[in-house]
Homo-oligomer: A and B are copies of this chain.
């Protein structure tokens, strides 16, 4: 079991469609209970919380959810207060906007709000996040790093994420920002970690060990378990890495992936 419990994660690679079919956001509302959904939008990651929060609120309302709260938590004091004007217990869907993943973890990490989110997930709520909000889902989180470079140690910058998903590392805006090399370098550090790169307007839906891809682009899976050579321990920070025998899967809509067996499969569309 990679995800710790019965909740569902909807991990979005950023820049999801908000004007057309809204495939991904519609799926979020559906999973949260449609008309009966009780949705919280967490705007902590962004520096435009009012604007971004209201945009998602409008969309979720249009997609049929009646109760959609925007929750602005801008500092640790707010995150740690017992009363933030909302009880998280009631939410069936929690949505993290994009922005800066380090804002999310540095403000929410270890707080009451963080605990309530994890508790909500354990109760079966759907937790969705886009862009920075996607990165925080895993135990280890990519903070930054040069993407258009040969893999090397200097392209790795990690922090602890929210830990809703174990043994994976998530990258977003993946193909669009050419981020495979930083993901390869992270996987080479410990091939037990599965690399998941999610393209824009694409999401990975995770329930237990089963994942499925939705949206218009693809999810790249970097499986390093079979790596034979890796010089990452002895290489210097700026030296080019050697990594051999990485297994790669490119999965569009209609494909699933088992986090436990690490095997992709085609689903009934």
Chain A interface (Cβ < 8 Å from any Cβ of B): 147-151, 175-178, 180-181, 184, 199, 202, 216-218, 228-229, 231, 239-255, 264, 266
Assembly stoichiometry (copies): 2
Q: Which residues of B contact A147 (CB under 8 A)?
A: 178
Pick from B180, B245, B247: contact of A245, CB under 8 Å: B247
Pick from B150, B178, B218, B229: contact of A264, CB under 8 Å: B229
| Contacts known (A218-B240, A229-B266); A247 close to B250, Cβ less than 8 A | no
Q: Which residues of B contact A243 (CB under 8 A)?
A: 248-250
| Contacts known (A181-B175, A229-B264); A150 close to B199, Cβ less than 8 A | yes
A252 engages B240 (CB within 8 Å): yes
A249 engages B246 (CB within 8 Å): yes
Write 8 A-B pairs (CB below 8 A) sorted by A numbering: A199-B240, A229-B264, A231-B252, A242-B250, A242-B255, A243-B248, A244-B264, A247-B247
B249 engages A245 (CB within 8 Å): yes
